[in-house]
Amino acid sequence: MANQRTLFDDQPTLAPCDPHVAPYDEPRLTGQNHTILLRLRQGPASNVELADLSLKYTSRISDLRAAGYRITCLRGAINGINTYLLEQ
């Protein structure tokens, strides 16, 4: 069993730019988590935009929060469009 591959073998790791995530605590984020984190690093993103990246974007946001990234949701009062921010 020592040669058995895992889900995360050969997957890229992301250096956290969030100062609240210590480099040694950095998890391996792949796939849609990676995509959403890269998008949030560019600036605020709406729920409509994140849904284009992943239909289950709220689960991916939860994954990122569990990994230590601080992500804030600013709820839209009228039109239901929320904005997500990566705090740095």
Q: What is the pLDDT of residue 21?
A: 65
Q: What is the pLDDT of residue 13?
A: 54
Q: What is the pLDDT of residue 61?
A: 95
Go through the chain and tell me how many residues it has. Answer: 88
Torsion over CA: 45, 48, 53, 54 (sign): positive
pTM score, two decimals?
Answer: 0.69
Query: What pairs with residue 84 in β-bridges?
Result: 45, 73
Q: What is the pLDDT along the chain (88 residues), one digit of tens a residue?
A: 444 444 444 545 555 556 666 665 556 677 899 899 999 999 999 999 999 999 999 999 999 998 889 999 999 877 889 999 999 7
